Amino acid sequence: MAQPTVVGVGMTPFGAHDRPLAELFGEATGAALEDAGIGVDGVDALYLGNAMGGQIEGASHLAPQLASHVGLAGVPCQRFEDACATSSNAFKHAVQAVEAGRHDAVLVGGVERCTPETGLDTAAMTTEFATAMHPQYEQPVGLSFPGVFGLLTDRHMHEYGTTEEHLASVAVKNHRHGALNPDAQHGREITVQDVLESPVVASPFHLYDCCPFSDGAAAVIVASADAADDLAGEPVSVSGVGHATDVVPIADKAEPGATQAARDAAAEAYDAAGVGPEDVDVVELHDCFTGAEILATEALGFFERGEGGPAAAEGRTELGGELPVNPSGGLKAKGHPIGATGAAQIVELVTQLRGAAGERQVRDADVGLAHNLGGDTATTVVSVLEVGA
């Protein structure tokens, strides 16, 4: 089995882009190739994440089209869609292909446009996102993503006393981090008061508890350690990837607030990497809503059940705290172009583990963890990356 590494990363700024998917993908890919010190002739395959190009932009079968756009025609190309976990699933398959010795170096790319630049306003886009709800049991009653995560978070508040102030502290932290990230969509700081005074979207979430709609792309070059030896990019080892799903619809989950798929995926990733939550130095996790970050920090084993809210409010997860979570700004401030998010988490972890994150650098970061979920927490992929392992 070959040791998979990440040898190159790149991304566009996240935000609103009046440019086609191919151009965004090309910009991120070009940066990743340059970082790796490799040309397209050294890339054996494309693993593409795009969640909703067909329904939002009338653009399906994107894998060979985007490959052609960057001069990579001919190699095997495949597109993945697993809602918001789309490009982390593409990453998983790329890692497995390199590990199995099938390919030496592959491109993982995620790209999506979700802002009004697509021609769809916020209401229409929320409806498109809601296609990930169960078609028979959830869509007919109008459930959409703020509602789903509102339900999960409400339950957590009921069981553990998590408060709206705890939630708001996650948004404040991630905006503070995002202000240090030049690629983040939201570069301005906010206060707990700002969050609590913003309009309610779906109880208990105010507007500032919710991540934005975003356009953007992220790209990652995965190569075997042997192949990486010949490349310029500083390699970061992928030491474990876990992938699990949970029952759909949400009403059938045994304990909705547990986000069981995250627990299962984390256990698999920790086991593969031979590390535990206590070894992790930096985390990029799926904070589509503030409550989702609190649930995730517990599911990943960083805090006991019910401790995630107080931990966030006490600053334990901010830069300089005991375990910095979402130094990039996370989905909340960096932005959330659905199919690009999983790949962008890997971009941030690699940047952090290389010590190249500038103002938002986490000190002594040797072990990083990415957590990317899709749908009503039904799909979760957890990846552990390491330097000097």
Strand ranges in the chain using DSSP code E only, listed in sequence order: 4-11, 46-49, 77-80, 105-113, 200-202, 205-206, 215-224, 236-245, 282-285, 367-374, 379-386
Is 114 a residue of the active site?
no
Binding residues for a second copy restricted to 329-358, rule: CB under 8 A: none
Q: Verify binding: residue 104, a second copy, rule CB under 8 A.
A: no
Strand ranges in 28-167 using DSSP code E only, listed in sequence order: 46-49, 77-80, 105-113
Among 28, 31, 51, 387, binds a second copy (CB under 8 A): 51
Is 286 a residue of the active site?
no
297's tokens: 């920090």
Q: Verify binding: residue 136, a second copy, rule CB under 8 A.
A: yes
Binding string to a second copy for residues 239 to 268, with x set by CB under 8 A, is what? Answer: ----xxxxxxx--x--------x--x----
Catalytic, out of 103, 175, 243, 336: 336
- Asked whether the beta carbons of 384 and 282 are under 8 A apart, the reply is no
CB-nearer residue toward a second copy: 168 or 292: 292
CB-nearer residue toward a second copy: 184 or 217: 217
Among 58, 199, 320, 388, binds a second copy (CB under 8 A): 58
**CB contact burial 342-372 (16+ within 10 A = b; e otherwise):** bbbbbbbbbbbbbeebeebbbeebbbbbbbb
**DSSP labels, 151-195:** HHHHHHHHHH---HHHHHHHHHHHHHHHTT-TT-S--S---HHHH
Strand ranges in 236-302 using DSSP code E only, listed in sequence order: 236-245, 282-285
Among 96, 126, 198, 203, binds a second copy (CB under 8 A): 96
Among 87, 169, 379, 383, binds a second copy (CB under 8 A): 379
Catalytic, out of 77, 84, 211, 288: 84
Q: Verify binding: residue 61, a second copy, rule CB under 8 A.
A: yes
User: CA 370, CA 348: separation in Å to the nearest integer?
Assistant: 9
CB-nearer residue toward a second copy: 231 or 331: 331
User: CA 384, CA 389: separation in Å to the nearest integer?
Assistant: 11
Binding string to a second copy for residues 152 to 191, with x set by CB under 8 A, is what? Answer: ----------------------------------------
Catalytic residues: 84, 336
Binding site for a second copy (CB under 8 A): 20-22, 51-55, 57-61, 63-65, 67-68, 73-83, 89, 93, 96-97, 99-100, 102, 128, 130-132, 134-136, 139, 243-249, 252, 261, 264, 374-375, 378-379
